[in-house]
Chains A and B, each alone.
Chain A
Amino acid sequence: MRLWRRRHGAPSLDIVAGNGLVNRRALLGGGVTVAGSLAVAATTTAAAAEPLADAPWSLAVGDFPAPVQTPSSFEKDVTRALSNPNGELRTAHARTPHHRLGGTITPNGLHFSINHGGIPNIDPAEHELVIHGMVRQPLEFTLETLSRYPLVTRTAFVECAGNSAPMFAKEPLQTTVQMLHGLVSNAEWTGVPLSILLDEAGIDPAAKWLIAEGADAQFLDRSVPVKKAYDDALIAIYQNGEHLMPGNGYPMRLLLPGYQGNMNVKYLRRIKAINQPAYSYFETKNYSQILPGGKTWRFHFLMEVKSFITHPSYGLSLKQPGLYAISGVAYSGTGRISKVVVSADGGKSWGEAALQAPIHDKAFTRFVMPWRWDGQPAILQSRAYDDGGNVQPLRAEFVAMRGEASRPVTTPLAFPNQHYNSLTSWSVDDKGEIKHVYA
């Protein structure tokens, strides 16, 4: 209920849903002040202000620019979480610290990375990409020749099919949003539409699949529908304006927006047009799912509509009652985010969150919801909708369809199953401590 508007026409800090959720349009500009409408905030900062003094860093000449700048020394804890820090001969994961980031673009140094056979040190002058198989004329491209095409740029998330896999555990693991959901990131990618290169090679209309293969030490390969290649696939050569990070596929990778990360083949060296899927190791084993009852899903490529709250979340406790912004990311492999709703009372009531523009197809959209925490227990949740009419399933709905792990899950590094896209719930106790719960 809107009681009154301020003189700039901005909404007041009205409560729109249970446990203190505030109108999403509040505090988004227009000169709104909070005086008078935040009765609960009166209890917050009691200490008398100190007289202001000049800080030491203002009284001496600072450092000078480095050729490549790195984050502030005060940000040294903003790092990826490594599953294989000692470089044992096995797969290595590096997870994005979502709870320490804002906006939608994942900085290149913090983009998640999974390498099944190590990160190859590729000389771009020697790297070749071949397109062959059911084509009129096999062709070879290099970074130099691809760079001569009129390049296109788009934003897209890339998500490992195993992201959020700890959420299949029967009991919620007490860990950060980074450990639960750190195998998804979002970047601006620049490259050549794959359809242009397939047309140039003259792909046979009878070819329904492509084998995409990397130049890593597994020659990792996946079968990709030709239909997806002509929809929105790119050969990406830039990531957020610079050439790809080595962990993300330098010097070129396949980008299949909205499809499971493993299919976005890195170090791309070969595309072969074929008439049947290859049943490669990764599509045969890791990236297909066992369903309750023992049937199995194959070629479940889509990363479906999903969201999670990054602020506040496990590890970021609330210091005192008052105004906070509940914020997180939403994305969908089936389109644009159309709506995100947020609950502070474990799903009993929901308020619509503000979405930060621009809202891109198959990309992160950040949602924000002002919240007056009154110091009482709360359970925070988000739920996303996309413009294809898809909605993030409630946990009970998801578990009914996809099941839960039969054995205890003791580490967030485990992958009991794949393609989890249900809700994440954070409980806040009366001291402001945050736990991961199922609700």
Chain B
Amino acid sequence: MSMRRIFVAFAFLLTAGTAVAQDTGLGKPLSESDIKQWDIAVLPDGSNLPRGSGTPAQGARIFAEKCAGCHGEAAKGGVTPYWPALSGGQPLTNGIDTVKTIANYYAYATTIFDYVRRAMPYNMPRSLSDDEVYALTAYLLVINKLIGEGDVMDAKSLPQVKMPNRDNFIMPYPDRL
């Protein structure tokens, strides 16, 4: 085979896409168990929620201790202009600048769990136990009247919480997904 033919054959392999993906040896193989500590994203259907549980009453105590310093007593805001109230909210028909809240905006309750676990408290991320995160999530849902005082939040109950704004979203460019 001439050098030119070899080159053409090689170029074909390169352009043939995923079917001939080459192992470069540059990526270090891992197992999913190696990644467990990092694998924190929770999906709307509840997949990847951890074990554990929490109640609104437990959450209220944790909130007073670890969250109210910024978000205000009973999550009513007012400490600084930058840290919002976490309860209530106006109807979205009030204007395009309506303040987005858990009650008037979020599509899935799993987002609350996910964000509190990955990013809160702001200056001590990842310091809460999974039980504490479930409890805080339950507390935030109760003060927004989305679950009852006696409801326990865990991997099974949290994805079942019906969020009022869930069916109000439209996608501008569905063909691009």
* B119 A293 Cβ-Cβ under 8 A: no
**Is A221 an interface residue, CB under 8 A from the partner?**
yes
CA distance A280 to B114 in the complex (A): 7
Q: How far is the CA of A168 from the CA of B22 in the complex (A)?
A: 49
Q: Find out whether the CB atom of A284 lies under 8 angstroms from the CB atom of B106.
A: yes
Contact-size category for B = 35 or more
Q: Is A219 within 8 A of B118, CB to CB?
A: yes
Q: A145-B26, A279-B44, A279-B108 are in contact. Are A406 and B97 (CB under 8 A)?
A: yes
Query: Which residues of chain A (294-310) have a CB below 8 Å from chain B?
Result: 294-302
Distance in angstroms between the alpha carbons of A50 and B34 in the assembled complex: 76
- B27–A145 CB distance below 8 A: yes
Measured CA separation A280–B94 after assembly (Å): 25
Report A402 CB to chain B, min CB distance, Å. Answer: 7
Collect the chain B residues with CB atoms within 8 Å of residue A202's CB.
21
Contact in complex: B95, A406 (CB < 8 Å): yes
B1-9, B144-152, B167-175 - the one binding chain A: B167-175
Interface majority SS (helix, strand, loop, mixed), chain A: loop
Contact A294 B114 (CB under 8 A): no
Q: A30 to chain B: closest CB distance in Å?
A: 42
Nearest opposing residue in chain B for A278, CB measure: B41
| B23: chain A residues within 8 A (beta carbon) | 200
Q: What distance in Å separates the Cβ of B141 from its nearest Cβ neighbour in chain A?
A: 15
Q: Answer whether residue A201 sits at the interface, using C-beta atoms and an 8 A cutoff.
A: yes
B100 at the interface (CB under 8 A from A): yes
Docked-complex contact B30 and A132, CB < 8 angstroms: yes
Once bound together, how far apart are the Cα atoms of A405 and B96, in whole Å? Answer: 6
CB-based contact B43/A272 at 8 Å: no
Give the residues in chain B near A197, CB-CB below 8 Å.
27
For window 271-288 of chain A, which residues contact chain B by CB distance below 8 Å?
Answer: 272, 274, 276-281, 284-286, 288
A130 touches B170 (CB 8 A): no
A202 to B, closest residue via Cβ: B21
Check if A281 sits within 8 Å of B114, measured CB to CB: yes
Complexed CA–CA distance, A213 and B177 (Å)? 19
Indicate with 1 or 0, residue by residue over B29-49, a CB within 8 angstroms of chain A CB atoms.
111101100111111110000
**CB pair B100 A285 closer than 8 Å:** yes
Cβ of A362 within 8 Å of any chain B Cβ, yes or no, is: no
Residues in A204-231 with C-beta less than 8 Å from chain B: 208, 211, 213, 217-221, 225, 227-228
- Are A90 and B83 in contact, with the CB atoms below 8 A? yes
B168–A294 touching, CB < 8 Å: yes
With A139-B29, A218-B125, A298-B107 in contact, is A293–B93 under 8 Å at CB?
A: yes
- Asked if B176 lies at the interface with its beta carbon under 8 angstroms from chain A, I say yes
User: Residue of A at shortest CB range from B109?
Assistant: A279
Taking a contact as CB atoms under 8 Å apart, the answer to whether A278 and B172 are in contact is no
Report Cα–Cα, A280/B21, bound state, in Å. 31
Which residue of chain B has its CB nearest to the CB of A140?
B28
Q: Is A296 touching B165 in the complex (CB atoms < 8 A)?
A: yes
Which residue of chain B has the shortest Cβ distance to A225 in the bound complex? B177
With beta carbons under 8 angstroms apart, the residue of A281, A294, A295, A296 that contacts B115 is A281
Chain B 110-131 interface residues, beta-carbon cutoff 8 Å to A: 110-111, 114-115, 118-119, 122-123, 125-126
Instruction: Identify B169's interface contact among A132, A137, A274, A297, CB under 8 A.
Output: A297
Interface size class of A (residues with CB under 8 A): 35 or more
In this assembly, does A199 line the interface, its C-beta being within 8 Å of a C-beta of chain B?
A: yes
Contact partners of A217 in chain B: CB under 8 A: 119, 122, 125
Give 1 or 0 for each of B76-104: 1 = CB within 8 Å of chain A CB.
Answer: 00001011000000011111111010000
Residue from the set B29, B34, B119 with the largest chain A CB neighbour count within 10 Å: B119
- Whether A315 is near chain B, meaning CB under 8 Å from some CB there, is no
How far apart are the CA atoms of A89 and B98 in the complex, in Å? 24
Task: Among B35, B45, B125, point to the contact of A130 (Cβ < 8 A).
Answer: B35
Which residues on A sit within 8 Å (CB–CB) of B38?
130, 213, 269-270
Nearest opposing residue in chain B for A402, CB measure: B96
Are A407's CB and B97's CB within 8 A? yes
Inter-subunit contact A117/B29 (CB<8 Å): no
B62 at the interface (CB under 8 A from A): no
Bound CA span A437–B126, Å: 47
Complex CA gap A406/B24 in Å reads: 56
By a beta-carbon cutoff of 8 Å, the part of chain A in contact with chain B is: 88-91, 117, 130-132, 137-141, 145-146, 148-149, 168, 197, 199-202, 208, 211, 213, 217-221, 225, 227-228, 269-270, 272, 274, 276-281, 284-286, 288-302, 402-407, 416-417
Chain B: residues with CB nearer than 8 A to chain A?
17-18, 21-24, 26-32, 34-35, 38-45, 70, 80, 82-83, 91-98, 100, 105-108, 110-111, 114-115, 118-119, 122-123, 125-126, 165, 168-173, 176-177
A-B contact pairs, 24 of them (CB 8 A): A137-B29, A139-B28, A139-B29, A199-B18, A200-B22, A200-B24, A202-B21, A217-B119, A217-B122, A219-B40, A225-B176, A228-B176, A279-B108, A279-B111, A280-B41, A284-B106, A284-B107, A290-B96, A290-B97, A296-B168, A297-B169, A300-B171, A407-B95, A417-B97
Given contacts A139-B28, A284-B108, A290-B100, 8 further A-B contacts (CB under 8 A): A88-B80, A88-B82, A140-B27, A148-B24, A219-B126, A284-B111, A296-B169, A403-B95
